[in-house]
Structure 1
Amino acid sequence: MEVPHGRELFIGSRWVQPHGTELTDVVAPFTGKTVAQLPRPSVEDARDAVEGAVASFGAWHDLPLEERHEVVARFCAGLDKRIDDIVAMWALEAGMPHGNGLALTTDASVFWHRALDEALTAPWVEVRDTPMGKVEVRHEPVGPVVGVVAFNGPHMQFALAMIPALLAGNTVIIKLAPESRMLGYLFAAAAAEAEFPAGVLSILAGDADVSQYLVEHNDVAAVHFTGGTEVGRAVMHACADRVANVVLELGGKSAAIVAADADLEVTVPALVDAMALYSGQICLTMTRLVVAREIHDQVVAGLVAGLKALKVGDPTDPETNWGPLAAPRFLERAEGYIHRAVAEGATIAYGGRRPAGFDGYFLEPTLLTNVTRDMEVAQQEIFGPVYCVIPFDTIDEAIDIANDSRYGLSGSVFTSDPEVGLEVARRVQSGVFVVNATFPCLAAPFGGVKQSGFGREGGPEGLLSLTQMKCITL
């Protein structure tokens, strides 16, 4: 696929020449072969992005909301007209199956248009009566923002966090993952068409040195980080040193509770679909399947049959629903967890191997039984296709198992009793939850608790998450 401006970088709302001459390979995970060579952004390029964001912040936030809205709306329109290219490039460079990618990108479009609508009615300024008289409460932009977004849905994070940040009046530097280098050029082409004022928006896919420079920079007022919990802690420490704002959307080890009265004709296909979504490389994936003991064997048999039926293959093929992992390190990490789980006593009910006939980074969906709640594989986020089945005897025990985790991102319950479903949903410690399905609403709002992070994306709360409040006594 053609990469627009493939020898330049999008810094400060403009295409510019990079400071260095180093190129980096883009490797397709389906084949393991290089499909493009693109400039490797340097710390000097990141410095230019910060300087531009600082210099343009005052003029950007002083623009009337309607004028900012017009520019951001042009950006969203540019993304919309590139949806087919985004889906195709996402499959090529990161292994996202075409069908999954189309669904997620279409949803992202819905969410960025929702953000545009909500910005026009949000309570940016309100007057309240207090014991001291009237006060004006204002939500104002925080300043230059760095958004560190993950490879498994950068445009979704644009919709839920970065576009709201721009609408609020912040200048923004979007730091993409190395697995999104090509995709970043499509996003940047849309931004260039929107004609943001100089300095307002930078989009670059950098390595760890660029991320560290941006996160630690004294002139960056806020960091919105999406990624693993361990790196999230380091981001939080860096922001603490200068008391910068931080929003963390971190890992998960979400549990799907399957009650004895669950409708398995609904439950099993829903769980298989959730397990197949991007080969488990989704923070929301239900990686712990907490199943009533009396239906344990029946559920496992159904899951195995469903996983066997998945079509493994080229992620650019619309018929494929199981593609490769995004990079060799993810494949090796998942295999390590499987090997250690078996050594601890777990049984592989299905999968656990690299499927024959593929040169890329493929791993079969792996379903583990005889797993106890305290095993490493049941406690650590793997971010890959490794799923644990844990039996329970009572709903109270199931909830206890679900809560026995340092994470608290999502969760679900399958039951025929609406009252039980709501009780479980209220008692499980998570930021979002779903009854009789697996994928939560991302717009009402979305975020985690415990070590899954804090702050929110989507909805009015996400729109205001990268603002600061000022109270004026009138």
Structure 2
Amino acid sequence: MVTDHKTLFIGGEQIPASSTERIEIRSATTEEVVGTAPCADNVDVDAAVAAARRAFEDPGGWSAWSVEDRASAIERLADEVAARADRITHFVSSQNGMPTVIAGPLESDMPVKIYRYYADLIRRTELEETRPGLLCGRAIVRRAPIGVIAAIVPWNYPNLITAIKSAPALAAGCTVVLKPSPETVLDSYVFAEAVAAAGIPAGVINIVPGRADTGSYLVSHRGVDKVSFTGSTAVGRQIAKTCGELLRPVTLELGGKSAAIILDDADLSGNIEGLFQATLLNNGQTCVVNGRILVPRNRFDESRDFLAALLNGAVVGDPLDPATQIGPMVTEVHRGRVEGHIARAKADGARAVVGGGRPAGLDRGWFVEPTLFTDVDPSSALAQQEVFGPVLALMPYDDVEQAVQIANDSSYGLAGTIWTADEARGIEIAEQIQSGTVGVNYYMLDPVAPFGGIKASGLGRELGPEGLSSCLRHHTTYLSTI
């Protein structure tokens, strides 16, 4: 069945789009059209930003609500998202190929946890303090909502990243204009239903699906106070340039080429699920996946055979099947990019010990075989460039110092993992990794802790109290003691 939308969620209502251009959403599994929606134009974006501005500035608007009232509304939103979990999971898996075994916990359950976390956090956050001065006065320092936030969300985790951006914004008292990716639009309409059902005031959240030009116009819009973007480093640089010229705050969560360091005492068989998650989550279409796997030279053959068995045993197929572990790439164009990386790796002398082609028996859908390369030069394109697919590079090291050097030899710095029987040793090595986040025998974002990258992996932090702080500005009032 094709889901055909004619309207956009602006100002608390589904209103007719100004644009006549349409977005056609295809199933990553069947290649068939599963839905259509308007592609927002500049007029639509203007309307969304104006609605967000009114909701923020009007007397009695969202920014003027009490902390308790905002927190209660966010909790209602969490309830409404939870009530639509099955539909969200289905739409996401149908559109981008994410296996439902992943989409359920990360696209439905995790957003609910994030909304509840920020509702609780804002209740516990002191937004004003009086500081005694060093001269003859004192100062009142108040943290106030930053204003209208443009939130640009990618296709790989559309609902999780929507929550990461919108939950702290709502808690802070900001309003949001959300731009979903054209590959994953259908689930955003379910989110709009949840927003309306939760009684979030009109204009506090507005949704304008669109392509790159829609995002560019939103980023540069004079009515926007801050931009929050998740996506490629190339696009992030352009957004940073625009925001720099406008002196506009921006948070950028960009690409990665993270490394998993397997130490000499690591128990591979005891960490199968964790290693699979860290290296192949969401078919490899995840910015934090560890596409480089570094192993001691004396355990190289063992590690190669272990990983080869892991990839060969992975169930590849329909993401709507609960047994599926690896689904298709999001689009035909993206599959072509991944296959281009594979071809380049082979041309550079790397050897595909597993995969390297398309799965047999899957003639429809944008599938790529889970692929493991050896004989990978640490300076090669495969070791340095983000693939964003189920492609792993296995490389040996002689000592831990060399492993850390290889891991840090990257323009990115987003994630990483250490695998060891000695947690204290793992923590010590993790602190040497030039990356915003590192896991020891595990990797998963947690709402309580800041997430983000360094180097080409981005600017700023999301999640944790730091994510809330990024939606607030400081205002100081100086007072005399006289």
1:83 corresponds to which residue?
85
Aligned equivalents of 2:444, 2:308: Cα separation in 1: 21
Partner amino acid for 1:126?
Answer: E
1:116 corresponds to which residue?
119
Offset of 1:326 from its aligned partner? 0.7
Aligned equivalents of 1:325, 1:263: Cα separation in 2: 31
What is the aligned counterpart of 1:137 among 134, 141, 144? 141
**For the Cα contact (< 8 Å) 1:139–1:469, is it kept in 2?**
yes
1:233 corresponds to which residue?
237
2:23 corresponds to which residue?
24
Are the structure 2 counterparts of residues 272 and 200 from structure 1 closer, same or farther at C-alpha, using a change threshold of 3 Å? closer
Offset of 1:281 from its aligned partner? 0.4
1:323 matched to 2:337 = no
Aligned equivalents of 1:45, 1:239: Cα separation in 2: 21
Are the structure 2 counterparts of residues 404 and 113 from structure 1 closer, same or farther at C-alpha, using a change threshold of 3 Å? same
**For the Cα contact (< 8 Å) 2:413–2:453, is it kept in 1?**
yes
Offset of 1:455 from its aligned partner? 1.2
2:265 corresponds to which residue?
261
Partner amino acid for 1:121?
Answer: R
**For the Cα contact (< 8 Å) 2:335–2:366, is it kept in 1?**
yes
**For the Cα contact (< 8 Å) 1:228–1:250, is it kept in 2?**
yes
Offset from partner CA, 1:328-371 (integer Å, 9 cap, x none): 12111111111111111100011111112221100011111111
- TM-score normalised to the size of structure 2? 0.95
Offset of 1:225 from its aligned partner? 0.4
Offset of 1:118 from its aligned partner? 0.6
**For the Cα contact (< 8 Å) 1:433–1:440, is it kept in 2?**
no
2:207 corresponds to which residue?
203
Aligned equivalents of 2:205, 2:87: Cα separation in 1: 22
1:10 matched to 2:9 = yes
**For the Cα contact (< 8 Å) 1:276–1:321, is it kept in 2?**
no
Offset from partner CA, 1:222-268 (integer Å, 9 cap, x none): 00000111100000011111101100111111100001111122244
1:366 corresponds to which residue?
371
Partner amino acid for 1:304?
Answer: A
1:34 corresponds to which residue?
33
SS class of match (1:115) = helix
Offset of 1:24 from its aligned partner? 2.6
Number of paired residues?
473
SS class of match (1:451) = helix
What is the aligned counterpart of 1:247 among 246, 251, 276? 251
Partner amino acid for 2:297?
Answer: R
Aligned equivalents of 2:443, 2:54: Cα separation in 1: 44
* Residue range with higher mean Cα deviation, 99-108 or 225-234: 99-108
1:411 matched to 2:416 = yes
1:445 corresponds to which residue?
450
2:460 corresponds to which residue?
455
Offset from partner CA, 1:393-437 (integer Å, 9 cap, x none): 010000001110111111111112233212111110111111112
* Residue range with higher mean Cα deviation, 159-168 or 387-396: 159-168
Instruction: Give aligned-pair identity as a percent.
Output: 39
Structure 2 unaligned segments of length 5 or more: list them.
none
**For the Cα contact (< 8 Å) 1:7–1:17, is it kept in 2?**
yes
Offset of 1:184 from its aligned partner? 0.8
Partner amino acid for 2:415?
Answer: S
SS class of match (2:372) = strand
2:174 corresponds to which residue?
170
SS class of match (1:472) = strand
Are the structure 2 counterparts of residues 441 and 64 from structure 1 closer, same or farther at C-alpha, using a change threshold of 3 Å? closer
